[in-house]
Structure formats: structure tokens, C-alpha cells
Chains A and B, each alone.
Chain A
Amino acid sequence: MESTLKITLPEDFIMLCEIFAFKPQVIIQLIIDQISFPRFYAHSHDKGKWATLILLDYLDNEHHWNKKERKLNEHYLEKFFDTLEAAIENTPVDMEMAAREIIKEWHKAIGKERAKYLLDNLPKDG
């Protein structure tokens, strides 16, 4: 999926881009390529863990949970953790696949939840 983003490039970052002569999008792409719960939790010694750590830290400390979705998210986080625990004897690759299935399921469920919310709040036809 491609997307056009509007972001602020901080001065320190721009200077590094210019010194080392790389495009900002190269680094941003590099960072977001690393962000993955299934990969992060299945391969504990992966060197590409830092980007996901930043995301986790953000979720843990700064992100405001949507109250209505909290229960659903807690449920899937728990399911995700249990899946990892159950797959601990498997190979990291199998573990990653099992973990990704949960994220897909979670993603679907949250989509359904939002659709339901929208439908329930449609103005009644007069």
C-alpha cells in the first residue's frame, strides 16, 4: 500500500540526511519496515527490534486507548500473548506465523466493531 504522508522533518534529522546524502524517505521506510509484533515477539534476538520497541513504548506511555475498543484490544493482546506462549517450542518462523494470524483476526474484529458502531449511529430514516 502506498500513502502520501505529511510529516515534519526535524532539523537534526535533515542535517544528517544532508551530511550522509540520503533521502528522508529511505530512513523512514527502513524504520517502518522493522515494525512488526509477530516478528518482534517470535525472534527475540532480532537486530531489527528497535523500531518496534519505540512503538511499544509509545503505546504503553503516550497512546490514549479508545474506551469503547479497550475491552476488545485487551482480549486480543491476551490471545496474542497466549499464542506466543503456546508456540514457544516451535521454530521462530512457525511462531511468527501463528502470531500473525492473531493480528489478522484482531484487525478484522476491530473493523467489524467500528462498522457496527457506525451503523448503530446512523440517523433513522424519517
Chain B
Amino acid sequence: MTVQRNDIINIPLEFKLACLVEGFSEQAVLQAFIDHISFYAVLGSGYIKGYREATSALKELNFTNSKGQASEAFANNREIASQCTIEILKIGIQTGNAKAKKNRSRKYIKKLFDTMERTYSTDKLYLAEESVLVFNEDFQVLCEFFNRYPKEYLEYFMSKIDLADHLARIGLNKLIVNGSMAFFAMLMGGFIKDNIRNLAKPATELQIEFIDELQQLHAKNFIVRNVEKRRVIYHNFFYNYYNKTNF
């Protein structure tokens, strides 16, 4: 069995490229993802913007690559765990505003959080000395519920971020269901106002030139009618920029 610990988190190249192109801080994107994980959104009905997209990424991992083991965290408190889950399910099927229902389910999530015996979850994860991710209760409860380390969720989310593929699909009108990328696209659209973009420094000449060329590339790609071919063109363009910015 491979040991999935939290100490080293692998940040894939495509995720780095996507953050670089959008001028996002990698840490801030991960934190935004974590903050939009909702236990209620796993069970309940109704659309809550941002929460559904982020949480669906986590559901995808659990339901397509299920470990199939019962949660160990509630082994000694099965009664409480099932009670809370049932209460949340009950709230889920009630009529009314999804956001309000999410708030009503809060106390049961708190109870699950207080009851669980931790194996997988932590409340923090350091990316670097000065850069820390903070996990909310929902996120931690879901780690224990599905026997997943936080690292697994984060790495799954990042593995689904591919801006080159996304742009190719948008251009050719061939989008596919991808909760992680949908969430990232919402960030691109300005879903969260603060601290996502590295706005501290004014744009460099290289950045301005890059944005200019990217706009031209969108138009130029008109003759490329195949998703994979378009993806490769965007990827190479981003990778070239990535190499230039690292000197």
C-alpha cells in the first residue's frame, strides 16, 4: 500500500500553467477550493454557486475511485454519525432556498466534526514555510467519511485543471462535465474578488505581450478544428511563457 501523507503535495504542471496564465496564486486557488467544499452539497439538493462545482470534484474522486471501506472515524460512534447524516438528508429534501438549508445543516456537521476520531484529516497543511492551507470542518469531515487524506482531494482537483484543454473546448463548443475546471473557470470570471490574483506588482512587458499574443492566438486557432490539436497549441504557448517567466 502506498503511504499517502500530507507532507509533500505535488503540484502538476498544467495547474501551474493555468495559475500563471490567470495571474492566480496557487495557494489562493487551493484555499478557495477548500472553502467551497460543503458536506451539505454532497447530500442535499439545490444549486449553491461555487459549492456545487468544488464539491462535485470531491464526489467524483470518491464515487469513481471508491476505496469501498467504511469510515473508521465513526466506528465507535455509528449511531451519532447516522443520525446526523439522516438529519442532513432530511433538510436536503425539504423545499426552500439551498443556501438556507446549507446553514441549517451546519449544527449536524459540527456534531460530526466533534465526534469523529481523526485518522486522515488535519486542520492545516503547509505548502511552504510561509504558505499554509486551512481546512474547514466540512472538508475535514469529508476526509474522514471517505478515508481520504486532504492531499488526495487537492491533488485530484489540481489534476483536473487544464486551461489549454478548457480553451480548446470552449472554442470548439465541446465542453465536458468537469467540476474542478468549472470551479476554476468561475475564479477566472471573478467569482472571488480578493486575494486570488497577484495584483501587487504592475504588469511586466512580458505579461502584456503574452496577453496580446494570447488574444491573437484565439483568432488564429480558428483553422484548428480538433480539440487535441488546439490543446497542444495552447499548451506549448503557455509552457513557453512559463519558461520565460522562470528566468
Q: Is the CB of B219 within 8 A of A60?
A: yes
Q: Is the CB of A57 within 8 A of B219?
A: yes
Q: Is the CB of A53 within 8 A of B225?
A: no
Q: Is the CB of B171 within 8 A of A60?
A: yes
- Is A109 interfacial (CB-CB < 8 Å)? no
Chain B residues near A56 (CB-CB < 8 A): 219-220, 222
Chain A interfacial residues counted at CB < 8 A? 14
- Is B224 interfacial (CB-CB < 8 Å)? yes
- Is B200 interfacial (CB-CB < 8 Å)? no
A46-78 interface bits toward B, Cβ cutoff 8 Å, 1 = contact, 0 = none: 000100010011011000000000000010011
Q: Is the CB of B222 within 8 A of A60?
A: yes
- Is B94 interfacial (CB-CB < 8 Å)? no
- Is B226 interfacial (CB-CB < 8 Å)? yes
Rounded to whole Å, the gap between the CB of A89 and the closest CB of chain B is 17
> In the complex, A78 Cα to B219 Cα: how many Å?
15
- Is B176 interfacial (CB-CB < 8 Å)? no
- If the complex has contacts A53-B216, A60-B171, A60-B218, are A41 and B225 also in contact, measured as CB distance less than 8 A? no
Chain B residues near A84 (CB-CB < 8 A): 223
- Is A117 interfacial (CB-CB < 8 Å)? no
Q: Is the CB of B219 within 8 A of A37?
A: no
> In the complex, A81 Cα to B172 Cα: how many Å?
15
Q: Is the CB of B171 within 8 A of A81?
A: no
- Is B174 interfacial (CB-CB < 8 Å)? no
B195-236, CB < 8 A from A: 216, 218-220, 222-226, 229
| CB nearest neighbor in B for A59 | B222
Q: Is the CB of A41 within 8 A of B223?
A: yes
| CB nearest neighbor in B for A80 | B223
Rounded to whole Å, the gap between the CB of B226 and the closest CB of chain A is 7
> In the complex, A62 Cα to B222 Cα: how many Å?
12
A79-92 interface bits toward B, Cβ cutoff 8 Å, 1 = contact, 0 = none: 01100100000000
Q: Is the CB of B218 within 8 A of A78?
A: no
| CB nearest neighbor in B for A60 | B222
Rounded to whole Å, the gap between the CB of A64 and the closest CB of chain B is 13
Q: Is the CB of A81 within 8 A of B220?
A: no
Rounded to whole Å, the gap between the CB of B237 and the closest CB of chain A is 13
Rounded to whole Å, the gap between the CB of A74 and the closest CB of chain B is 5
B51-68 interface bits toward A, Cβ cutoff 8 Å, 1 = contact, 0 = none: 000000000000000000
Can you list 24 residue pairs at the A/B interface with Cβ under 8 Å? A37-B223, A41-B220, A41-B223, A53-B216, A53-B219, A53-B220, A56-B219, A56-B220, A56-B222, A57-B218, A57-B219, A59-B222, A60-B171, A60-B218, A60-B219, A77-B222, A77-B224, A77-B225, A78-B225, A80-B223, A81-B224, A81-B225, A81-B229, A84-B223
Chain A interfacial positions (CB closer than 8 Å to B): 37, 41, 49, 53, 56-57, 59-60, 74, 77-78, 80-81, 84
Given contacts A53-B216, A60-B219, 9 further A-B contacts (CB under 8 A): A37-B223, A56-B220, A56-B222, A60-B171, A60-B218, A78-B225, A78-B226, A81-B223, A81-B225
Chain B interfacial positions (CB closer than 8 Å to A): 171, 216, 218-220, 222-226, 229
